Amino acid sequence: MAFRLTLKPHERLVLDGAVIRNAGGRTVLIVENEVPILRERDILSPSEVRTPADRVVMAIQLMYVEPDRRDAMRVTYQTLSQELRDAAPSLAADLDVVDGHVSAGRFYQALRSARQLRDHERRMLDHVR
């Protein structure tokens, strides 16, 4: 099934490892096969990583867009996930959902589920401050 993407002017996306930027006005792309796609608004850049949940998300993101490094990143993900689980047991339910997607190789769904993990972590950190 084809996937239709509408890009705003100058919006970027990662398409199967390639960073693509829309150079002009609104653009429509049709992707006719299944490849890793991340829109700019969904990309967590390394400079934005500040919390343990962010590190977990970065590991998932790299597993998704860099299949050649997937095995190494899976080990990193498991370590980071366990460290977060140990430090904040209240996030275990969110981590269980994310872990399920990662274990099944559904990295995009893991990234989507990790949004809730990051939101819960952020609320927890705000409460501590």
pLDDT tens digits, 88-120: 999 999 999 999 999 999 999 999 999 999 999
- The predicted model scores a pTM of 0.88
Q: What residues does each domain of the chain span?
A: 3-42, 46-128
Q: Would you state the pLDDT for residue 11?
A: 92
pLDDT tens digits, 32-52: 988 899 998 889 999 999 999
CA triple 18-75-38, angle to 5 deg: 25
Q: How confident is the model at residue 124 (pLDDT cuts 50, 70, 90)?
A: confident
